[in-house]
Amino acid sequence: MTITLYGISNCDTVRKARRWLDTQGIDYDFHDFRKDGLELATVERWLETESWDKVINRRSTSWKALAVDARESMDRDSAAAAAIESPTLIKRPVLETDKLLEFGFSESRFATLLG
């Protein structure tokens, strides 16, 4: 099983997830939104599986920096465009395999999914 962990390297939650994966001896590829970029097709794939409000972190400073009308009118299409423009809007980390997609980090949830 190929595991990809998406995020940004200076995010505390991403660092916790990476540390947990490393401690468990789980091999994964890390994809840094800032260094490696983010393709629209990837975000659209996520939005086919999950609702936009699960993909977009509405507690983030990036969300709060959006114009009020952009936040109030957010939908699937505008969420995809906003995530491409500002990947820090995406709830991190994103754990993806060929069979699962998880946003955010919880040790117990990762243990259940990957154990």
The helix or strand, by DSSP H or E, that contains position 4, with its residue range, turns out to be strand 4-7
The token pair that represents 11 in the structure block = 């995010």
Q: Which residue of the set 11, 26, 101, 114 is catalytic?
A: 11
54 labelled catalytic = no
| 113 neighbors 26 (Cβ within 8 angstroms) | no
How many C-beta atoms lie closer than 10 Å to residue 78's C-beta?
Answer: 15
User: Which amino acids are annotated catalytic?
Assistant: 11
